[in-house]
Amino acid sequence: MADFDFFVVGGGSGGVACARRAASHGARVGLVEESRMGGTCVHRGCIPKKFLVYASHFSHDFEDAAGYGWSIGDKSFDWSKMVEAKTKELDRLEGIYRGLLKDSGVTSLDGHGGLVDAHTVAISGETHSADTILVATGGWPSLPDLPGIELAITSNEAFDLPQLPERVVIIGGGYIACEFACIFNGLGVETIQLYRSDMILRGFDMDIREIACDEMRKTGIEVRLNENAVKLEKTSGGIALTITQGEIIETDQVLFATGRAPNTSGIGLDEVGVERNHNGAVIVDSGSRSNIENIYAVGDCTDRVNLTPVAIHEGRCLAETLYNDNPQVPDHRDIPTAVFTQPEIGTVGMSEEDARNHCAGVDIYKTRFRPLKHTLSGRNEKVFMKLVVDKADDRVVGCHMIGNAAGELVQLLGVAVKAGATKAQFDETVAVHPTSAEEFVTMYEPTN
């Protein structure tokens, strides 16, 4: 008999969720993690990033307070104190993850796990057999092959810099690049963002992309499009970054946020015969099974939808299928998403561009306005909201927002889109006044 019914390689969100659910249904489960339990989200992604978002937003809040009669004295920010508080909380969260696994009956192992064959995992010279194996090793930031690239950092290192730089250049136009540009800018760092294409946030609704860029520039971020890094050189004053047209930018730190790759090398997948694509992602079917019958994969290592809640969803579906006689296939449609820029972005469903390609006809409803808060604060920040409606059945197939609490709002809008709510039902819903959210149920005339 095998040592385990189910063995998970990777202790991130997807792996832990799947392991715990499988164990709750009576499976004998083992899990190995070579770094810290909790994975990218807890230690190098969602959680520490949100802490930095909060920290960076206070500079705007202090400015806004003056319009409401508050007199704010001298202000200063202590980077080392913030990092210390962040690290303490992440240590606490890792302890919770380990406790949850233990309480669920999962055997947790520390070390580098690699597949020896389709039923065996090796950890530090010891082997463990399992009937079924799950690969849940996540992703890792990738860096381009440029001269001097060793001088750059990625999002991994940004959370634990020994000191806050005075100047930073961020390379990339995706959500990680945009979020860090807003974070550093909010902390008082002179921030330049370079993106090689003609607009940031590829894949999002075009209105969202253009307005986000506009709002980020308003806050003082120097967003430069159609420009890219060519070379980095160490200087006595920091780093000399040569960009596309030959210009040299002097800066203290260069952060590359130009993509993440599946973290699937060096764990025996090729030796066992598990198929991967050109980017290293494990190729799986709709049920998360690889080409090897008893080997599965979930989360960022499959490069499907790289979000923490998606990895958890995929893991739980798999555990239900394998160990609870309750077959479930993860649903990757209409996933609510937030981007914690300043102002933040919330989006669910189709962009206008996607809808025009997939629907016979669409109606577009949108509004842009100054939120009530800033009529007194004086901040030149606008809220933008947009609904995309399929004319054929009046269903709201896309909701998009830029503004305060957009991430919170889009969670509930996601329920409406998932449930197939119509524009008529949005219109019939009584508004909550005065809120920004009421605009979603009071946009009566299409703009197209």
CA of 116: how far to CAs of 52, 125, 299, 324, in Å? 41, 11, 22, 28
Q: Which of 60, 313, 332, 433 is catalytic?
A: 433
What is the 3-class SS of 109-147, one letter each residue?
EECCEEEEECCEEEECCEEEEEEEEEECCCEEECCCCCC
Query: 């090796």: which residue's tokens?
Result: 122
Q: Identify which of 386, 383, 384, 401 has the alpha carbon closest to the alpha carbon of residue 352.
A: 386
Q: Identify which of 359, 357, 335, 330 has the alpha carbon closest to the alpha carbon of residue 346.
A: 335
Amino acid symbol at 48 = P
Amino acid symbol at 100 = L
The helix, strand and coil proportions of the chain, stated in percent and rounded to the nearest 5, come to 35, 25, 40
Rounded distance, CA 312 to CA 405, Å? 24
What is the 3-class SS of 248-291, one letter each residue?
EEEECEEEECCCEEECCCCCCHHHHCCCECCCCCECCCCCCECC
Amino acid symbol at 294 = N
Q: Identify which of 266, 262, 308, 307 has the alpha carbon closest to the alpha carbon of residue 284.
A: 262
Rounded distance, CA 325 to CA 44, Å? 35
The phi, psi pair for 432, rounded to 5°, reads -100, 120
Instruction: Name the token pair of 442.
Output: 């009071």
CA of 256: how far to CAs of 128, 156, 171, in Å? 38, 10, 5
Give the number of other CB atoms < 10 A from CB of residue 324: 15
Rounded distance, CA 45 to CA 159, Å? 9
Amino acid symbol at 273 = G
Element (H, E) at 144: none
Cis peptide bond prior to 434, omega within 30° of 0 = yes
Element (H, E) at 64: helix 46-65
Instruction: Name the token pair of 172.
Output: 């990339």
Catalytic-residue membership of 433: yes
Q: What 8-state DSSP symbol labels residue 302?
A: G
Q: Is 72 helix (H, G, I), strand (E, B) or coil?
A: coil
Task: Cite the active site residues.
Answer: 433
